[in-house]
Chain A
Amino acid sequence: MTQTVMTQTLLSVKDLSVEFVGHKSTVHAVNGVNLRVNAGEIVGIVGESGCGKSTAVKGILGLLQAPGKVTGGSAELAGHGDLLSIKNKNLRKVRGASVGYVAQNPFGSLNPIYSIEEQFRNILKAHGQPSAKKVARERARAMLTSVGIAGPDRVLDGYSHQLSGGMAQRVVIAMAMLLEPELIIADEPTTGLDVTVQRQILDLIRDRVVDSTRGILLVTHDLGVIAQYCHRVVVMYAGKVVEAGSVETVFLNPAHPYTSALLGAIPRPGHELTRLLGSVPDLRVVPTDCSFRPRCKHAFEACSVSPDLREIAPDHLVACHLSERVGHGAS
């Protein structure tokens, strides 16, 4: 990829916060997340379950269900303004047309009582595009072919339950791409699929982006997916971004102990597995100290104050006091 194509910012998320307000307590699921996706780029969000990856993405898309609520921040989509302040009716026009969404479970995204063809047509109808049967079918068929489905007619005439997991996910991706959105947000699109199918699906997604003006935000907990398919990575922990940067920088020179621990937890023959003990903290309390402190083997006095995300090298952001002490970067 060339640097020149990547300069245009497609999505810029600033200070995004999401809360789930309950009767007795409030869960601060996402706390001031910043990230951006440039044209021609695949950006990965990685972290353990419960770190707020999916919640952040749903917040951006306006898909949070009560009691979940975006409580602050902005998400600027190039040419459309702040998604978080667009009224619901207009947001529906943006979603699908300008931002495509692929969820983890394809069967949850497909309606079991409509044929696949009808669901493609409904997308066109909802966006005021020509949706006569013949036109719609032709577009759907072309899109299914482009995602590697060899027998599109059989799929179009059928229903979701007749599809395998891999085929269903291809159909959902085809639907997300039907209106040629600039940005696709994919939340664990290949989790639960076989490895062979996983690569086919990821190749498909990548082919849509490379050398184009489009971009992808990919949520995953699979570090291999990030390493092989993403340009930049955002590591989330306890609702916050703890490290961000180019995949090469972050994977080869991780600066946050959490990132190192995740990378060390991948089984490799002959290597001792990093034992990252404990679990993601309770997000009902907003900690004043670093939220990784209880699990961090490097924790020291300064960690009693929550660290800010700082740039320690060009395009390498880290929220850790250790990076100040070691002294590589700004300090």
Chain B
Amino acid sequence: MVLLELEGVSKQFHARGGKGIVRAVSNVTLKINAGETVSLIGESGSGKSTLGRLVLRLLEPDEGAVRFDGVDLTQLSVKEMREMRSKLQVVFQEPFESLNPRMSIGDIVGEPLIIHDRGLNSDARKQRVRETLERVGLSPDSSTRLPGQLSGGQQQRVGIARAIITNPKLIVLDEPTSSLDLSVRAQILSLLADLQRELGLAYLFISHDISTVEYVSQRIAVMYLGEILETGPVSEVIKDPRHPYTRALLSSRLSTDPNESLPRLRLIGDIGSPTEVRAVGCVLAPRCPMAIDACRSQAIPLKEFAPNHEVACIRAEETSDALLSNSISGGGSN
């Protein structure tokens, strides 16, 4: 069952100083089923977080529809949207930055109930807070403490508790483990997996870490300069990436097996600027070692390569390490 459906979603920003337009998200179409984890992966500046915010309507899309449970969120009034938010929650990257340092843990975790469950009296609310804290692996006693008294991992558990207390169906997880230590990251990932199983949650998982994404998601969408270049089941996309960008991104992984060296593919130069006036063609063309004239003269939409596996590359069939390896070694930009 489709829970979230983005159709042709675009968002532009005016660059600082009024010069130029940043195309943060261009014409994105994406589906998330109930109980499923879909990951957005890409470098900084690819538009992953902007897309997450558009889903939550923390940003208004310029174009397109964001359908959640069959309702187009972009058409809702502020009041209707606020009610909807109990079903749509978010966990941010920096746990400490996203918690009010002067509020107690109990108040932080209980606050969504004040907004979304007004019938609840204060005792019942406290009870729900205690249950939720236990559910995320925190002692109920921690409700009297302040965020600054907790470790990074505990703070992130508070962020997760706040997100699940309203019984949401979808949580946008925006780099929830990027600022955490390895052992703590593993704890949080295990917690998220447990919660998904127990509560039937769907996750939109935003990350730049391929091994994390591979571990947590069923499907992934690879973003570059605001566009989805490849999307499909995680195992398929990682085993047989068809877009040169996906292949390059995957090849920058560092295996923790010292005897395994993954093939290296490099793109030319650095990530382009989203403010640049772009030609009609593929967004990756200026950096792509496989680019041909046709890549620069026409729009390249996502096309089905295999069932559920879509690629926005006219040479998807031919993509191979050999074709890509004649790339010029990466370096600075001009």
Contact = CB atoms under 8 A, between A and B. Distances in A.
A complexed with B:
yes
Interface of A: 48-49, 148-151, 154-155, 164-167, 170, 194-200, 221-229, 247-248, 251-252, 261-269, 273-277, 279
B252 A198 contact: yes
A194 B254 CA distance: 12
Contacts of B127: none
B219 to A, nearest CB: 13
A54 to B, nearest CB: 13
19 contacts: A48-B181, A48-B184, A148-B329, A149-B331, A150-B334, A165-B44, A196-B267, A199-B254, A223-B182, A224-B253, A227-B256, A228-B255, A262-B182, A265-B182, A267-B211, A268-B214, A269-B234, A273-B190, A276-B183
Contacts of B267: 196
B120 to A, nearest CB: 33
Nearest to A261: B183
Contact of B331 (A200, A225, A248): A200
Contacts, number: 130
Chain B contact residues: helix, strand, loop or mixed? loop
Nearest to A196: B252
The 4 A-B pairs at the shortest CB distance, nearest first, are namely: A224-B254, A267-B215, A148-B331, A149-B332
Nearest to A295: B183
Contacts of B187: 275-277
B261 A228 contact: yes
User: Could you say which of B184, B249, B261, B332 has the most chain A C-beta atoms within 10 Å of its C-beta?
Assistant: B332
A247 B235 CA distance: 29
A103 B151 CA distance: 24
Given A196-B266, A263-B256, A279-B153, 4 more contacts: A164-B270, A194-B43, A275-B186, A275-B187
Contact of A276 (B43, B186, B212, B257): B186
Given A224-B256, A279-B153, A195 B215 contact: no
Interface in B190-237: 190, 208-212, 214-216, 234-235
B259 interface: yes
B247 to A, nearest CB: 12
Interface string B109-141: 000000000000000000000000000000000
Nearest to A170: B332
A49 B334 contact: no
B172 interface: no
Contacts of A268: 211, 214-215
Contacts of A225: 254
Nearest to B209: A195
A262 B183 contact: yes
B258 interface: yes
Nearest to B333: A150
Contacts of B216: 267
Interface string B81-105: 0000000000000000000000000
B200 to A, nearest CB: 21
User: Could you say which of B248, B258, B269, B329 has the most chain A C-beta atoms within 10 Å of its C-beta?
Assistant: B258
Contact of A273 (B43, B186, B261, B264): B186
A200 B269 CA distance: 11
A251 B186 contact: no
B215 to A, nearest CB: 3
A294 B235 CA distance: 37
B258 A227 contact: yes
Contacts of A170: 332
Interface in B160-192: 181-187, 189-190
A225 B44 CA distance: 20
B255 A265 contact: no
Contact of A265 (B186, B266, B333): B186
A164 B269 CA distance: 13
B183 to A, nearest CB: 4
Contacts of B256: 223-224, 226-227, 251, 263, 266
B254 A269 contact: no
B263 interface: no
Nearest to B213: A267
B332 A151 contact: yes
B182 A251 contact: no
Contacts of B181: 48-49, 221
